[in-house]
């Protein structure tokens, strides 16, 4: 019996950035020696790359290796399947050679409508194509855990990281960071380092190292941004960088603006803090979010969040260190 061929196209979509990043990292790792692997890896941003750029990368032959890896983030998926560009895109997907692994990373984006994120729905033409393509295509949906499931996620992920959490500690951390798995993983790594992996993390450890005070300071930073006080915002950033890991701080800021988008959109529709609480946001945080959201227009928040995504890409691609990227971000918004 013939072996099932390895997939040529990988479609990974959803709102769990940690899963999307981990999936990409695993495929890069499988490319072997990093020095040689980079010669056979092409990363493209679908928001700026032309279809011809993707075609050239996909059809290129590997250099001193068995295969190439092409990673396309945020592919443009608007319109109908019959549209000229989309038809050519699907034709290219059908023609991916066995020497190429094409990864499509599709992260949910804020729709600004119906208080929801624009998701790759089951009826979308790309998913329909992927399901019909058979074993040539691997499909993975990456969804953030529900707020009530986050403590279990922390307990399970702790074991994967080689550590352990006591149940009250997992509940405490979930109360602080919500369903943000990327931020949770960063905080867990910090906590495991603190206990030296020698014992389970306890609730007291979480209170000591992952305090609500850090999130309160992010509120202060965003308040300064809302008031247009850049010097104060930069000062708050400087203080926070002395107390927090830069990656953790970036995650906190991104999460804050994601929550503010939800709060502002809800407010524009006449909603109340209680409706935010239904998403697992604690009552005193929901009230503060609504107050802060009043100081921004929805369009401003969407623009800021898109800029944060750009900053994230710049840092990951090595264009600038995260501390400098945060300073530039505050100077621009």
The CATH number given to whatever domain includes residue 180 is: 1.10.8.60
Least confident range from 82-96, 113-127, 235-249, 260-274: namely 113-127
Least confident range from 58-72, 76-90, 178-192, 211-225: namely 211-225
**Which residue, of 172, 192, 209, is where some domain finishes?**
209
Residue 10: strand pairing partners:
103, 138
Instruction: Supply φ then ψ for residue 263, to 5 degrees.
Output: -65, -45
Cα gap 66→32, rounded to integer Å: 11
Paired sense of beta strands 109-110 and 117-118, if any = antiparallel
Residue 125 has pLDDT above 50, yes or no: yes
293 shares a domain with 194: no
134 shares a domain with 17: yes
CB 163, CB 192: distance < 8 Å: yes
Is 2 among the domain residues? Answer: no
Neighbours of 15 (CB within 10 A): 18
pLDDT of res. 279: 62
Q: Which helix (H) or strand (E) holds 298?
A: helix 298-316
Predicted confidence (pLDDT) per residue in 212-246, tens digit? 545 557 888 888 888 888 888 888 888 888 877 78
Structure tokens at 43: 């990363």
pLDDT of res. 255: 83
If one compares 102 and 325, the residue with the highest pLDDT of the two is 102
Domain count, the chain: 3
65 shares a domain with 14: yes
225 shares a domain with 187: no
Is 64 among the domain residues? Answer: yes
135 shares a domain with 14: yes
- Sheet of 9-14: strand order equals 41-45, 68-73, 100-107, 9-14, 137-142
Mean pLDDT of 264-271: 82
Helix 181-195 to helix 150-160 angle (10° resolution) is: 50
Cα gap 315→313, rounded to integer Å: 5
If one compares 114 and 140, the residue with the highest pLDDT of the two is 140
3-state SS string for 52-120: HHHHHHHHCCCCCCCCEEEEEECCCCCCCCCCHHHHHHHHHHHCCCCCEEEEEEEECEECCCCCCEECC
How distant is the alpha carbon of residue 85 from its chain centre? 27
Residue 139: strand pairing partners:
11
Is 123 among the domain residues? Answer: yes
Is 1 among the domain residues? Answer: no
Question: Which residue has tokens 């501390």?
Answer: 323
101 shares a domain with 168: no
Cα gap 322→328, rounded to integer Å: 10
CB 182, CB 251: distance < 8 Å: yes
Is 4 among the domain residues? Answer: no
Neighbours of 128 (CB within 10 A): 12
pLDDT of res. 113: 45
Cα gap 74→227, rounded to integer Å: 32
Instruction: Tell me the CATH number at 67.
Output: 3.40.50.300
19 shares a domain with 136: yes
217 shares a domain with 204: no
Which domain, by its residues, includes 201? Answer: 147-209
CA distances to 93, 153, 170 from 173, in Å: 42, 11, 5
Cβ-proximal residues to 169 (8 Å cutoff; 6+ apart), any chain = 200, 201, 202, 203, 205, 206
Residue 112 has pLDDT above 50, yes or no: no
83 shares a domain with 28: yes
Neighbours of 98 (CB within 10 A): 11
Is 3 among the domain residues? Answer: no
Residue 145 has pLDDT above 70, yes or no: yes
Is 197 among the domain residues? Answer: yes
Cα gap 102→142, rounded to integer Å: 18
Instruction: Tell me the CATH number at 273.
Output: 1.20.272.10
Is 58 among the domain residues? Answer: yes
**Which residue, of 184, 209, 234, is where some domain finishes?**
209
111 shares a domain with 14: yes
- pTM of the full structure: 0.70
- Would you mind telling me the total number of residues written for the chain in this entry? 333
170 shares a domain with 111: no
239 shares a domain with 186: no
**Which residue, of 209, 226, 257, is where some domain finishes?**
209
Percent residues over pLDDT 90 in the chain: 37
Identify which of 228, 199, 302, 203 has the alpha carbon closest to the alpha carbon of residue 260.
Answer: 302
Cα gap 177→214, rounded to integer Å: 11
Q: Which DSSP symbol is given to 147?
A: G
């Amino acid at each position: 019996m013939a072996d099932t061929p390895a997939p040529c196209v990988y479609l990974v979509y959803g709102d769990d950035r940690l899963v999307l990043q981990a999936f990409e990292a695993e495929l890069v790792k499988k490319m072997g020696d990093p020095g040689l692997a980079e010669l056979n890896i092409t990363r493209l941003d679908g928001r700026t790359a032309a279809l011809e750029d993707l075609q050239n990368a996909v059809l290129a032959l590997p250099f001193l290796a068995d295969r190439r890896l092409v990673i396309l983030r945020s592919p443009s998926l608007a319109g109908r399947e019959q549209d000229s560009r989309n038809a050519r895109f699907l034709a290219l997907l059908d023609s991916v050679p066995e020497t190429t692994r094409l990864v499509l990373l599709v992260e949910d984006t804020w729709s600004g409508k119906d208080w929801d994120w624009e998701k790759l729905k089951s009826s979308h033409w790309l998913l329909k194509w992927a399901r019909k393509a058979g074993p040539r295509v691997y499909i993975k949906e990456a969804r953030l855990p529900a707020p009530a499931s986050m403590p279990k996620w922390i307990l399970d992920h702790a074991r994967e990281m080689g550590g352990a959490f006591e149940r009250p500690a997992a509940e405490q951390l979930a109360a602080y960071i919500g369903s943000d798995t990327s931020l949770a993983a960063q905080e867990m790594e910090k906590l495991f380092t603190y206990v030296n992996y020698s014992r389970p993390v306890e609730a007291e450890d979480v209170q000591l190292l992952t305090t609500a005070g850090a999130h309160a300071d992010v509120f202060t930073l965003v308040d300064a941004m809302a008031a247009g006080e850049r010097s104060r915002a930069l000062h708050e950033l400087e203080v926070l960088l002395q107390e927090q890991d830069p990656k953790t701080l970036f995650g906190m800021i991104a999460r804050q603006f994601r929550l503010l988008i939800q709060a502002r959109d809800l407010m524009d529709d006449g909603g109340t803090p209680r409706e935010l609480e239904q998403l697992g946001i604690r009552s005193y945080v929901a009230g503060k979010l609504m107050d802060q959201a009043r100081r921004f227009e929805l369009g401003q928040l969407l623009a800021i969040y898109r800029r944060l995504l750009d900053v994230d890409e710049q840092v990951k691609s090595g264009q600038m260190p995260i501390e400098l990227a945060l300073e530039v971000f505050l100077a621009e918004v």
